[in-house]
Chain A
Amino acid sequence: MDTVIEILKGVHPEIDYETETGLIDKRIFDSFDVVNIVGELMDEFDIEITAEHMIPENFNSAEAIYALVQRLEEE
């Protein structure tokens, strides 16, 4: 989880990722941010994120992103 938060801080350091649950819904992240975060996640965790994972629910909070990473690591 710490690594995920570190990646997210690299994009928007001002956000409290422990509590924020509307990263997409509140338009804190734009599409450019999401794609760049996905790139970092794929590199860091050696996972493959595809079109079907690109839904707001997977990126609305650090926790959701971490859950996605865990799911893909297990696959």
Chain B
Amino acid sequence: MSFISMDFALFVTAALVVYYVFPQKHRWVVLLAASYVFYGFSGVANFAYILVTTVSTFVCAMLIGNKGTEQKEYLKEHKESLTKEEKKSYKAGIKKKQRLILAVGVLINFGILVYLKYADWSIAYINLFRLSRFGRTDFIPFKNFILPLGISFYTFQAMGYLVDIYYGKYEREHNIFKFALFVSFFPQIIQGPISRFGELAPELYKEVKFDFNRIRSGFYRVMWGLFKKLVIADRLAAYVTETMAQKESYKGLYILLAVFFYSMQIYGDFSGGIDVAIGVAEMFGVKLHENFERPFFSKSISEYWQRWHMTLGTWFKDYIFYPLSLNKGIIKLGRLLREHGEKRYGKDSRGLKKLCYGFTQQLGKRIPIYIPMFMVWFTTGMWHGSQNRYVVWGLFNFVFIVLGTELEPISLKLVERFKLNEAGFMMKSYRVFKTFWLMSFLRIFDISRDVPSAFQAFKYIFTQWGSFNIVNVYENLSLPKEDFIVAVIAIAVMFIFDLIQRKGSVRERIFRLPVPLQWMMLSLLVTAVSVFGYYGPGYDAGSFIYGAF
């Protein structure tokens, strides 16, 4: 069931009625039932996958938790008799068992995800290898799996929980039905945000009272999400697709415009979908984590990734980057390199040896950061899709972040040398502009067929600027003049509201206005979505871009 359909509106309304009629203490049961009904609409067969994740994660967390309890009790009982070393050795034994259970849980769940998502990608490479190496033409057939709804999102969420339980961050959930709700909560299952147990669980299980203002506030958020999705993203989609498909004929500014519009499209699509998720959850009294913080106003790529799809970024940071970065093996590798450099070239060497010494010291220092960062970006690329262009996209992000970090001292020196005001409007604007376009250019991989095609599109941007004629945009590239004007105005509105939001919630400001004005604002928003929402031919409201990841 799509977020943008009458079915979904009716479903949420019915769920809200039942939710608030139900006894306050047990309202979470309605959320669980609603989440499973919603999930059922995506195909009953999909239940098997989400059930395996729910049950296996619950059981593994239970076993890890039991080991923790066993350790606590044992140490309490033998507090006086054990030496410090004996305690340490006992704890290490328990940790080893917990690690084994964690590994089983992670392997089962990521195993399913990787198998479903990358089976065909792997088969293609195996077939290619067999053909080129042995000349075999008996190709292994593709599996053509259809990914179960939200599998990436709920798997990441469940595995985050399991790792947190392993590290003793929270007490495990003892009720499997409550845990099932944490995994399947319907507003966030299609495209996130990816929540942490410590944040989401209390929200889901708390006793929620009916509050009309909260429902109204959630409704505002939903409508704002629909505005971004229907008025902006869906209106621009056809132009982007058409231009990229005909890039040999429409080069230069046409492609540059497509790149710009795709940035607007993906932001409207993804952040709009998140607005709908957060708004619907709010109506049920559940506060979800924000996923965007005006990313297009970021001054560096690192900052951009702290403000775009924030919950995925922090997930990768906490569960891939830090565990690798703080891994004794990787830290030791860096140290070994530094020691080797010192031994081989000497601290007080000169000339080329001094250069080699410095290089080994700097590289050794960077290994515990850059190897995990490389893994994060490789995984992020793979997460977006089982195609090489996504991997290349991820690796470009890695390279740009490394360059940004390494060139920062030079950049600071230049700022000092030319007496530029780092905190001034001009410098900030320059950095925002640079970051926006770098990220937009990287998205060419997203809208191209493959890697060579993406490089070609990038090359084409810098040719034939003189041939641009806006009439072609209106008449041949699926963005009629009226739609073009509506899109530009809507983008401006979106950014104006983003800027207003910097000083606090826009909705709270609206709610401080006189009541008639509040209703007028809401009517305006609803009207804008109804009248200017893009419901053109071939339009499929259900297809959120991130839903496919």
Q: Give A contacts to B, CB under 8 Å.
A: 31-33, 35-36, 38-39, 42-43, 46, 49-52, 54
- Residues of B close to A50: CB separation below 8 A: 167, 322-323, 326
Whether A35 lies near B331 (C-beta < 8 A) is: yes
- Residues of B close to A54: CB separation below 8 A: 322, 326
Query: In the complex, what residue of chain A is closest to B314 when comparing beta carbons?
Result: A51
Q: B290 to chain A: closest CB distance in Å?
A: 20
Whether A39 lies near B365 (C-beta < 8 A) is: no
Whether B331 lies near A32 (C-beta < 8 A) is: no
CA distance A42 to B331 in the complex (A): 10
* Interface residues of chain A: helix, strand, loop or mixed (majority): helix
Q: B327 to chain A: closest CB distance in Å?
A: 9
Q: 8 Å CB contacts to A: which residues of B302-357? A: 317-319, 321-323, 325-326, 328, 331-332, 334-335
Q: What is the number of residues of chain B that contact chain A, defined by CB distance less than 8 Å?
A: 20
- Residues of A close to B318: CB separation below 8 A: 51-52
Q: When A36-B334, A38-B326, A39-B335 are in contact, do A52 and B365 touch as well, CB less than 8 Å?
A: no
Contact of A39 among B167, B319, B332 (CB under 8 A): B332
Listed A/B pairs (20) with beta-carbon separation below 8 Å:
A32-B366, A33-B365, A35-B331, A35-B369, A36-B335, A36-B365, A38-B326, A39-B368, A43-B328, A46-B88, A49-B326, A50-B322, A50-B323, A51-B167, A51-B317, A51-B318, A51-B319, A51-B321, A51-B323, A54-B322
Query: A-B pairs with CB below 8 Å: how many?
Result: 48
Whether A42 lies near B328 (C-beta < 8 A) is: yes
CA distance A39 to B368 in the complex (A): 9
Contact of A35 among B88, B317, B323, B325 (CB under 8 A): B325
- Residues of A close to B169: CB separation below 8 A: 52
Whether B369 lies near A31 (C-beta < 8 A) is: yes
- Residues of B close to A43: CB separation below 8 A: 328
Q: A22 to chain B: closest CB distance in Å?
A: 19
Query: In the complex, what residue of chain B is closest to A46 when comparing beta carbons?
Result: B88
Contact of B331 among A31, A33, A39 (CB under 8 A): A39
Query: In the complex, what residue of chain B is closest to A32 when comparing beta carbons?
Result: B365
- Residues of A close to B365: CB separation below 8 A: 32-33, 36
Q: 8 Å CB contacts to A: which residues of B277-321? A: 317-319, 321
Q: B277 to chain A: closest CB distance in Å?
A: 26
Please indicate which of the listed interface residues B169, B322, B328 has the most CB atoms of chain A within 10 Å of its own CB: B322
Q: B97 to chain A: closest CB distance in Å?
A: 16
CA distance A39 to B366 in the complex (A): 13
CA distance A49 to B332 in the complex (A): 15
CA distance A39 to B322 in the complex (A): 12
CA distance A38 to B317 in the complex (A): 16
CA distance A15 to B365 in the complex (A): 19
- Residues of A close to B323: CB separation below 8 A: 50-51
Whether B326 lies near A35 (C-beta < 8 A) is: yes
Q: 8 Å CB contacts to A: which residues of B347-388? A: 365-366, 368-369
CA distance A31 to B312 in the complex (A): 21
Q: B285 to chain A: closest CB distance in Å?
A: 28
Q: A55 to chain B: closest CB distance in Å?
A: 11
Query: In the complex, what residue of chain A is closest to B368 when comparing beta carbons?
Result: A35
- Residues of B close to A49: CB separation below 8 A: 326
- Residues of B close to A35: CB separation below 8 A: 325-326, 331, 368-369
Q: A75 to chain B: closest CB distance in Å?
A: 8
Q: Which 4 A-B pairs have the closest CB atoms?
A: A39-B331, A51-B322, A51-B318, A35-B368
- Residues of B close to A33: CB separation below 8 A: 365
Q: When A50-B167, A51-B317 are in contact, do A36 and B322 touch as well, CB less than 8 Å?
A: no
Whether B328 lies near A39 (C-beta < 8 A) is: yes
Q: A29 to chain B: closest CB distance in Å?
A: 12
Q: B380 to chain A: closest CB distance in Å?
A: 17
CA distance A50 to B322 in the complex (A): 7
CA distance A51 to B368 in the complex (A): 14
